[in-house]
Structure 1
Amino acid sequence: MKLNKKIKRLFIALLVVPMLAMAQVDFNKRPDDDLGNVEDEFQEHFFEALKQKGIENYDRAIEALFKCLNLDSKKPVIYFELGKNYSKLKNFGAAEENLKKAIDMQPDNEWFLDELYDVYYQQEDIDNAIKTIKQLVKYHPDYKEDLAALYVREKKYKQALELLDDLDEEYGLSESRDAMRNDIYSITGNAEDRIENLEQRIASNPNNEDNHLKLIYRYSQTGDKKKAYKAAQNLLKIKPDSKFVHLALYKFYLQDDRVGDAINSVKIALTSPGINADAKAKVLKDFVSFVSKNPEYESDLIDITSLVDENKDAQTHSDLAEYYLKAGDKVKALSNYKAALNQNPNDFKLIKDVLLLQLDLQDYKTVVTDSENALELYPAQPILYLVNGVAQNKLNKYKKARDSLEMGLDFLIDNPNMEADFYSELSIAYKGLNNITKSETFAKKAQAIKAEQ
């Protein structure tokens, strides 16, 4: 927070400080003695210092500034520039000393104080940082927010919250202050204060939907489902067209066995363009879980999924596939696994799930093609050689089955069950090749492993 805000202020400072220096030195004034043009010499050294600082040559910048001091030691901008260069060199003691000299000369200069604050902040000298920033708060509200952040670091949460309240009252709400406020509530575990703050905001501005939604979430988080439900119903009364409230309502309706209302809320949530894909995926996943326990609502699930065919992400398709698999509908399960795989073509788990289902559905030619494509991505995965070998055996292509299975065995490590499957399939392949001796050998190896399990 400190650095981001400092960048904004620093941009202004970069414009102001050179003008400040120019304002303090009248470079158009002609010398009134025979000692040469002192002001021209000062200007030359000062701008040399700025140039050297600009190219990060801070030691040379400091040398040039000392030459300026030899000509005129009463200009605060010299000490300010010295402080900045020493700070860049991490010589914080010298930086502090020079910045304090500049501030003694101009106590109300915001940029001098801001640089001193930064020196303390870099050293994590929080006490002095707080003392300095208290002098800065009159210049810009960002400083108050910085001060609140420092109070949080010092575990002075009450003072931090009071500052945030002052800023909210004066400038309105902001995401950054809300985030800090929530951090404080999370640290202190004071859920009551968090909820009270939201209730006060709703009382003063009932039409702010975001505060209602936060209150619903906070009640749910504390386990007070009745108050969360009541808060959701209250939002629906105030804003009957709210879409986001249905992200909470469908859960309450399901808990109350108001399935019709729940289905309506699910449909509203899933078809609302303002609700993001992740939230929709969570709603659909919850409803899939509900239907898996209440299969009489499967027709509603089909209806609902048809509403979001274009918006389902890979995880949603995968969840649907698992539901249909449990329900015994392997064709629909495979269709959804394939849809998920189309979105994430390199997902090994999805590749494996699709291949195993294709085997189960006896689509052996597709298994051969898809497993060979998968092996280009994952040439060291034994399961891919195994499913390829199984499919080749089913297609009576025993030589190809044998070659695939023997290659896959080379990659197999510490997996007795899969090893037994390899041996069983090799037994089938060698039998198809009329090599009965090897077929029986591999059959015995498979049986020996299974007997040990």
Structure 2
Amino acid sequence: MKNVIYISIIVFGIIFILQPSYAQVDFNKRPDDDLGNVKDEFQEHFFEALKQKGIENYERAVEALHKCLNLDSKKPVIYFELGKNYNKLKNFGAAEEHLKTAIRMQPDNEWFLDELYDVYYQQDDINNAIKTIKQLVKYHPDYKEDLAALYVREKRYKQALDLLDELDEELGVSEARDAMRNDIYSITGNADDRIDNLEQRIANNPNNEENHLKLIYRYSQTGNKKKAYKVAQNLLKIKPESKFVHLALYKFYLEDGKVEDAIASVKIALTSPEINADAKAKVLKDFVAFVSRHPEYESELIAITAEVDEQKDAQTYSDLGRYYLKVGDKSKALTNFKAALKQTPNDFKLIKDVLLLQLDVEDYDAVVTGSEEALELYPAQPILYLVNGVANNKQSSHKKAIDSLEMGLDFLIDDPNMEADFYSELSLAYKALNNISKSETFAKKAQAIKAQQ
């Protein structure tokens, strides 16, 4: 609202100064405008003030305006311009004084009142800001929204809600006002009022999908899942083509044991272009968790994930990887972790998961290559040196294993289990190189740590 007002003020300032007549023009006559028939000196100072304000040189603008006052002190626009410049200079006392003078001269001037409102607002003088904006409401209904915001700051929540209701009735609902309304409900903790408001909106406009969805969310948030379920079913009857309702329905179906209905809702949610990737990831994560408890539905999970291959994000692949790891399918777990890592190549946790699984499935070439690439990103992570050492040992590259393991030990801090693993691998590497003395030394170190566990 304020941006619109400021633009209007600029236009107003120009119109205020220059209002040419389009009737008969006497080119020998001095120009006549809202400033009256004034001398060139007055106009020179006034336009100098506008120019200096335009380049943000407010002090010089004030000087020029005071010269105008010395020539003619009866023009409210001069006091208005002084008020604006003093406001910019944060000289709020002078700004208030000059703006009040302008308002006394023109009590019904919206722009003068708006600037005075801004002076009070910047000082956090909410009481005077409220008094001023109440005068502005008659000029533009959007000022009611500013007034509602001021009421919230003063904790006058009922008055704020009443104003928001008036605006909704006059102009229809808006996201900004809904956000303010929700802030009030959150502050007051009055969930019933929030729900009553949504129910009334649905009664007034049953075809508004968004209000149904909000009510489902609010009922779910308050723990009233039965009512949330009922609202979702009602929305499906009113708008059977709704996609967003399935973001709620699949959960209710799963809780009710209606697995086939839940699967249908999951498919709709995951394949609908209207639904964003974050929401889809949440749906798939919930279904993966369900299948991990009910593995008899794994074929449905596979079918669903195949349908949305192109839409899966890194988190979805990662969740699927953990599911397959939990059920013991390391190959599928690795495939999904690698797909996740392809989308987020610098994710250290995914890098670690992939390398450990590659060790498990004995893909040592991949571990050596992957750990070396990862060390360029994370040169102080001991686990990367350890897996590199293990893989090199497995490939009989024992000197490389020793180099990597000894370097990794320098970065190891307070992790006895990993330290024991380092010593065990060093023992194996030295033994393979026939350095039995060092092999035994490291073996003893590993055993000593394990004995303390």
Instruction: Please give the range of the TM-score, normalised by the shorter of the 2 chains.
Output: over 0.9
Aligned residue number for residue 104 of structure 1: 104
Deviation at 1:55, TM superposition (A): 1.6
Aligned residue number for residue 6 of structure 1: 2
C-alpha distance in 2, partners of 1:380/1:222?
47
Q: 1:317 to 1:328 in 2, by over 3 A?
A: same
Q: Work out whether 1:293 is the aligned partner of 2:293.
A: yes
Q: Deviations over 1:255-296 (max 9, x none)?
A: 111111111111111111111111110000000000111111
C-alpha distance in 1, partners of 2:321/2:278?
18
Aligned residue number for residue 432 of structure 2: 432
Q: 1:38 to 1:199 in 2, by over 3 A?
A: closer
Aligned residue number for residue 269 of structure 1: 269
Aligned residue number for residue 123 of structure 1: 123
Q: 1:79 to 1:407 in 2, by over 3 A?
A: same
C-alpha distance in 2, partners of 1:276/1:18?
47
Q: Which amino acid aligns with 1:138?
A: K
Aligned residue number for residue 175 of structure 1: 175
Deviates more, 1:410-419 or 1:103-112: 410-419
Q: Deviations over 1:47-81 (max 9, x none)?
A: 11111111221111111100000000000011001
C-alpha distance in 1, partners of 2:229/2:425?
58
Aligned residue number for residue 86 of structure 1: 86
**What is the DSSP-based 3-state SS (H/G/I as helix, E as strand, rest coil) of the residue aligned with 2:311?**
coil
C-alpha distance in 2, partners of 1:410/1:70?
80
C-alpha distance in 2, partners of 1:155/1:271?
45
Q: Which amino acid aligns with 2:417?
A: N
Contact 1:38 1:71 in 2 (8 A): no
Q: Work out whether 1:313 is the aligned partner of 2:313.
A: yes
Given candidates 11, 18, 22, the residue that maps to 2:18 is 22
Deviation at 1:29, TM superposition (A): 5.6
Q: Work out whether 1:279 is the aligned partner of 2:279.
A: yes
Aligned residue number for residue 24 of structure 2: none
Q: TM-score, normalised by structure 2?
A: 0.96
Q: Which amino acid aligns with 1:128?
A: N
Q: Deviations over 1:194-242 (max 9, x none)?
A: 1111111111111111111111111101100110010001001111111
- Mapping of 1:183-198 within 5 angstroms? 183-198=183-198
Aligned residue number for residue 34 of structure 1: none
C-alpha distance in 1, partners of 2:338/2:364?
16
Identity %: 81
- Unaligned residue ranges in structure 1 (runs of 5+): 32-36
- Mapping of 1:6-405 within 5 angstroms? 6-23=2-19, 30=30, 39-405=39-405
C-alpha distance in 2, partners of 1:30/1:377?
76
Q: Work out whether 1:416 is the aligned partner of 2:416.
A: yes
Deviation at 1:22, TM superposition (A): 3.3
Contact 1:364 1:392 in 2 (8 A): yes
C-alpha distance in 1, partners of 2:17/2:174?
36
**What is the DSSP-based 3-state SS (H/G/I as helix, E as strand, rest coil) of the residue aligned with 1:411?**
coil
C-alpha distance in 2, partners of 1:451/1:415?
15
Aligned residue number for residue 23 of structure 2: none
C-alpha distance in 1, partners of 2:173/2:28?
49
Contact 1:236 1:245 in 2 (8 A): yes
Deviation at 1:30, TM superposition (A): 4.2
C-alpha distance in 1, partners of 2:207/2:431?
77
Contact 1:375 1:381 in 2 (8 A): yes
C-alpha distance in 2, partners of 1:332/1:203?
50
C-alpha distance in 2, partners of 1:225/1:29?
80
Q: TM-score, normalised by structure 1?
A: 0.96
**What is the DSSP-based 3-state SS (H/G/I as helix, E as strand, rest coil) of the residue aligned with 1:107?**
coil
- Unaligned residue ranges in structure 2 (runs of 5+): 21-26, 32-36
C-alpha distance in 2, partners of 1:53/1:59?
9
**What is the DSSP-based 3-state SS (H/G/I as helix, E as strand, rest coil) of the residue aligned with 1:414?**
coil
RMSD (Å) for aligned C-alpha atoms? 1.6
Q: 1:399 to 1:28 in 2, by over 3 A?
A: farther
Moved over 4 A (4+): 27-31
**What is the DSSP-based 3-state SS (H/G/I as helix, E as strand, rest coil) of the residue aligned with 2:264?**
helix
Q: Which amino acid aligns with 1:13?
A: I
